Amino acid sequence: METTTFDDDGDLELLLQNDDNPTDPSSAKPTPTKKFVVSSKVLCLVSPVWKTMLSGKFLEGTSRQIPLPEDNARALEYMLNLVHFNFDRLKAPTTSDLTHIAIVCDKYDMAGLCRFQANEWKDVFRREGKLYSFDAIFFAWTFGFRSWFESVVKDSITGQTIPRLREYELENFAPPGIAVTMREIATRAHDETFNAIFNTYKRFLGDQSCTIGSAECSAYNLGAFITILDRNSICIDMSLARAVYGTPGPLRPLADVVGGMQISKLPLKPRGETPQRRYGEAEPDEHAQCRSLAGLKDEVKKIMSNIPTALQEHHKVHLRSQAKKVGAE
């Protein structure tokens, strides 16, 4: 077993699994691979959770060992070096490390100890291009960065697939209730967007879609719109899309596709016909309104701009509390 000593006079041993060999859920009693020798007094001073755990009743009549099979050893090691003043052992953490450090700080109520590191750690997410990743959600949650937390949650609602949001619900470190709300908001926005696309399709499908009654205009616009949808793998029937393709992809790229949609003017100029009655000949273009997608674009833009916050009151209370501990924002 690998042993790391944080205090030469340590009176407590923490038993952990190696991060590369996580605990087997089917194992009734996993075998620890790491041992951390620490000071119980230090832990009681820095964490109310540890103070409760190390009360007389908890360890009465037992050896001075505590198994922690679910804790990330690397993250706990970082925090133990911090609280035991072993600053020379501290290594610059990555965003992955910081996510696990946040989990440890949340579990043991030690976020306040990172008052001077929290803002610097936020810059790590920025430098690694992960300011709006799922990892950032829990980090911002733990250290009380409310505006960042709210921004990354909204970005994930529009930028992640619904299956990925569903997976996030199952991750035990997700803030309580937030992932379910994110998925519900994303699903509703997807439905509204596809309904807008379908209603545009029905408008082109109608016999009266051309403002001056040109059958050629209606047929051309319908075909052009279907072609645009097909090129972008967009199925106009939401129920059919779910049955054939599964859950749709991220919302933001779909909105970007809609924003770039354009039906061009029919380039051919037929001969021997009254110009005002044939598509593409009227001067000025009398069919500009017929092929316009402005209504669809405006509706989708409105859907995107009206994505609601996923924060509930208990989230706001938690973030205010953490911000006060850490001095964030």
**DSSP one-letter string for 143-175:** HT-HHHHHHHHHHHHHHS-HHHHHHHHHSTTSP
CATH number assigned to the domain comprising residue 39: 3.30.710
Distance of CA 284 to the CA centre of its chain: 48
Residues 83 and 99 grouped into a single domain = no
Q: Closest by alpha carbon to 84, among 5, 15, 142, 14?
A: 5
Say if CB 196 and CB 296 are below 8 A apart.
Answer: yes
Rounded Cα gap, residues 250 and 254, in angstroms:
7
Rounded Cα gap, residues 89 and 86, in angstroms:
6
Averages of pLDDT over runs of 10 residues in the chain (329 residues) are 94 86 56 92 95 73 80 95 95 93 94 91 93 90 94 91 77 81 90 90 78 80 90 74 60 91 71 49 64 92 94 92 84
Residues 210 and 299 grouped into a single domain = yes
Residues 194 and 265 grouped into a single domain = yes
182 within some domain: no
Residues 149 and 171 grouped into a single domain = yes
What is the domain count for the chain?
3
Residues 111 and 144 grouped into a single domain = yes
Residues 201 and 279 grouped into a single domain = yes
pTM recorded for the entire structure: 0.78
Judging by beta carbons within 10 Å of its beta carbon (0-12, 13-18, 19+), is residue 172 exposed, middle or buried?
A: exposed
144 within some domain: yes
227 within some domain: yes
pLDDT at position 27: 54
pLDDT at position 280: 47
Residues 97 and 63 grouped into a single domain = no
Rounded Cα gap, residues 243 and 254, in angstroms:
19
Residue 6 lies in domain: 1-89
Residues 169 and 316 grouped into a single domain = yes
Helical ranges in the chain per DSSP H: 40-46, 48-53, 56-59, 73-83, 95-108, 118-127, 134-143, 146-159, 162-170, 178-205, 215-231, 238-245, 251-259, 294-305, 313-326
Residues 196 and 277 grouped into a single domain = yes
